[in-house]
A = this chain, B = another copy of it.
Amino acid sequence: MNLISENKSFGGVHRRYQHASSATNCVMTFAVYLPPAALAGGKVPALYWLSGLTCTDENFMQKAGAQRVASELGIALICPDTSPRGDGVAVDPEGSLALGLGAGYYLNATQEPWRAHYQMFDYVAHELPALVEAQLPITSVRSISGHSMGGHGALIVAMKNPGRYRSLSAFAPICHPSAVSLGAASWGRRAFAALLGPDESTWHAYDAVELIAHLTERLPILLDQGSSDDALARLMPEALVAAAARVQHPLTLNMREGYDHAYYFVASFIESHLRYHAKALFAQGDER
């Protein structure tokens, strides 16, 4: 890991690292916030945050106001990038923001030209945690959250890795991407067809509404969603609520009156999510 920048923040430290990733076969950048408790010789549990379309490792760290609360609670924040990047990494030939760079959907692509690098599922679920747990004062006690495409990522990564996360939440997640078809700006079917091919059964393996029916672990889901979010038709929280109800999967949806899809919405409610995750991260008796 190469340290590329470091800033003191709320008594802890915000760092950005680059490293050669074997999962994505390129150099990946990620950010980590280490609270004061991690700089005093101890190890701390971590919240993994997955960001949305067009984001990098920086958006959440700069805009969410999360470091103040993470400092107090003594949890690390880990923010990967949203896709592979660099020479040879495929980009959307149509130039949309919904496929390609910044738009990896946290899945393992099987199709050309995407599969050489777009292996974000393996990267965020396995390679990145192994790396930071080996090289930083971070334990294997993990929670996961994210926003928009990253909320989708948090849902599928947790659902497909039972036992790996203590808690799961999401802000305005894309809940049912295999059903979302709105042309070139599709936050779902167009990208899934490119990355996974025409067989829609392969899409369902990365779709929270499809996955929730068949889980062995009933990890509760905490969702916050703005009622004035222009993207609601592409997010489909109602489909996830209905699917959860069918299998009695515990799910709390906080509809936030008047809030939209911006980071001001995330910032307004991040503290409540961080306190929710801290409760699970510091719970006794079920070290995993």
Contacts and interface: CB of A to CB of B under 8 A. Distances in A.
Interface in A61-76: 62-63, 65, 67-68
A261 to B, nearest CB: 9
A263 interface: yes
Interface in A207-241: 226, 228
21 contacts: A7-B259, A7-B260, A7-B262, A7-B265, A8-B228, A8-B258, A8-B259, A8-B264, A9-B264, A9-B265, A9-B268, A10-B264, A10-B268, A11-B268, A62-B62, A62-B263, A65-B68, A67-B264, A67-B267, A68-B267, A68-B268
Contacts of A9: 264-265, 267-268
A277 interface: no
A260 B8 contact: yes
A147 interface: no
A85 interface: no
Contacts of A263: 62
Interface string A1-44: 00000011111001000000000000000000000000000000
A7 to B, nearest CB: 4
Interface string A243-274: 00000000000000011101111011000000
Closest 10 CB pairs of A and B: A9-B264, A65-B65, A7-B264, A8-B258, A7-B262, A8-B259, A10-B268, A62-B63, A14-B264, A9-B268
Nearest to A257: B8
Contacts of A10: 264, 267-268
Contacts of A265: 7-9
Interface string A128-146: 0000000000000000000
Nearest to A256: B8
A184 to B, nearest CB: 24
